[in-house]
Amino acid sequence: EKPGDSRHIPLDVQGTAFQEAVWQELRRIPPGKTRSYAEIAAAVGKPGAVRAAGSANGANNVAVLIPCHRVIRSDGTLGGYAYGTAIKQELLERERTSSR
């Protein structure tokens, strides 16, 4: 398993059905890769729920195990992150470096 790959760690997190679907989708994003909020919403079968996907992303209480830092805006900019965009950028850069 590569550093930053937490996809196979079992988690017991609870939220709404939509939040849990979003969190499962976030865990499918490989280290070093990103997806947009719109891509996440579409992947869980709710393409019109982009803002709700963002809210579910923000409700994630285990930020590294459910890698919400891998979700960016559709225009390619980072978007928000509970621990600040500098930390988000650092996590993404570290993953990209270790994924090579």
Catalytic residues: 68
Structure tokens that stand for 13 in this block: 């997190």
Q: Is 17 within 8 Å of 38 (Cβ atoms)? A: no
CA distance 68 to 61: 10
d(CA 68, CA 62): 9
Helical H runs in 44-84? 50-58
